[in-house]
Every structure is written in structure tokens, then in C-alpha cells.
Amino acid sequence: MARKGHRPSKASPQRPRFWGRHAAFAALDNPERRIRKIWCTHEMGAQLVLPEGVPVVYAEVADLARLVPADAPHQGIVIEADPLEDIWLADLIEQGRDDDRPILLLDQVTDPHNVGAILRSAAAFDALGIVTQDRHAPPESGTVARSASGALESVPWVRVVNLSRALVELGDAGYWRVGLTGHTDTTLAQALGPKRVALVLGAEGEGMRQNTEAHCDILAKLPISDRVESLNVSNAAAIALYAVATAQGG
């Protein structure tokens, strides 16, 4: 029998490489992450509990630098791994059935630094997970992992084919869908209700697409000063998550 619910999109078949202590150590500690290869200095290798059966190549610092983008701070370790397995939105909703943790939906947020920073904030404020449309979001990568500072391994990331249908599924599950935009007089504090919250954020500059806005229950803004037009989307996500936590008495 076919599974019900909004199916995940297919993960990228490309194996990401992670570098730096936080990203690499978190991946090594994640039982759901399959590690394929490790490059490290002898000094770093002495600090690791190396997984059985995984090839380890000991290398000099300069050699490791050739495995990562220019100027990337590898800190003596680079790992190659499989992408994490797809997560169904229905499974994420089921995980949050008995609590009020918020879900973040990102509409065409494509910058890997921003997505990584949002994952880090999601971990900090105990969000249930994030949801992105796969065609308009970055794949797992070293840049995302480093910006997430380990949160890529701990915060569920659902990739969907159609964000509007995902919003319908969340609405059916009882989530109050709040779209963040500057084009409204309603503040986020005024928009938050007693229900579990799904926060929707659009790309910096363009904001949410019209069809995404149409599938929100309410549109709200962050009460920022007139001296700036808008906030970086990762900063906006952190502030919005804090507002939700405060409203919930967290």
C-alpha cells in the first residue's frame, strides 16, 4: 500500500564532505550518518575514536586544504559521508504530536550559510525541524554543516517537492502557519496563538512567494526599526524562534 502524506524529495546522490571539529565530530557521533572516508592529521587522529571499516588517510595540513574550498578552516580533519536518509513530513509531525515545538519552513532560501545558521538556531531553541523545497534549497554540504556547528546531525531536515502542499499537511495536523513578511501591520507577538506554530520564512530580498503566503493562516512582521529595511533570514529565524519560545513560556 502506498504511504500517505507529502513524500520527501530525493536527496542528492553526491556525497558531502565535512570539515572542522564541530561538523566532523557531530557526523562521526551520529549513528544515522554513514561515514565513507576520513582524512586527518596524526594529531587529530589521536583524538578520535575511529569507526570500524572506514578508510583513514593521514595527511599534512596543506594536503587537507586541497580537499576543501579555499580558506575553509578544516582544523585537521575532513570526512566524506552519505547524505542522511529522507525524512517524511508525516514522520516529523508524528514526532511532535505530544509537544509544542515549532517547525520552520524556508521558501527558496538557497544560501548554504543561511540554512546552516537556521539549523543552528533551530537546535538552540529546540525546534522540531525545518522543511525546504528541494529545488530551491542547498544540498547537504560542508558549508551547511560548518555554519550549523553540528546541528545538521541533530535537527531533522525534511525536503519536499511542493511547499504549499506541505503547508496544507501541517494545517491539517493543527499547526498555526505564520508567514513572516514586512508587508503587514500585525506583529509576530500578535500573530502567535495557542496552537503549535509553523514559521514560514522567504528568501532575503524576494520574501515568500505569493502561493506560499496564500497557504499561511496569518502574516506577521518582526517589529524592527525603520533604520533597516529587513533582517538577514537567519537572524529573522533566530528572533522568531525566540519569540515563540517566550510566548510558550520557554
Q: Which amino acid is at 202?
A: G
81 neighbors 16 (Cβ within 8 angstroms): yes
What backbone phi and psi angles, to 5 degrees, belong to 117? -65, -35
pLDDT per 10-residue tile (average), the chain, 250 residues: 52 80 94 94 89 91 91 91 94 93 96 96 97 92 95 97 96 96 91 90 87 96 81 93 85
Q: State the pLDDT at residue 109.
A: 95
Q: How far apart are CA 93 and CA 131, in angstroms?
A: 11
Amino acid at 217: D
Domain at 89-249: CATH code: 3.40.1280.10
Q: What is the pLDDT of residue 6?
A: 56
> Looking at residue 204, what is its pLDDT?
76
With b for 16 or more beta-carbon neighbours within 10 A and e for fewer, the 78-112 pattern comes to: bbbbbbbeebbbbebbeebeeeebbbbbbbbbebb
> Angle CA(131)–CA(136)–CA(141) in degrees, nearest 5?
80
Cell 550559510 maps to which residue? Answer: 113
Instruction: For residue 25, give the C-alpha cell.
Output: 565530530
Q: Where are the domains of the chain?
A: 17-81, 89-249
Note the pTM of the prediction, 2 decimals. 0.91
Residues whose CB is less than 8 angstroms from the CB of residue 114 and which lie 6 or more positions away in sequence, other chains included: 147, 204, 232, 233, 234
Note the pLDDT of residue 59.
94
Report the candidate in 153, 171, 161, 165 with the shortest Cα–Cα distance to residue 103: 171
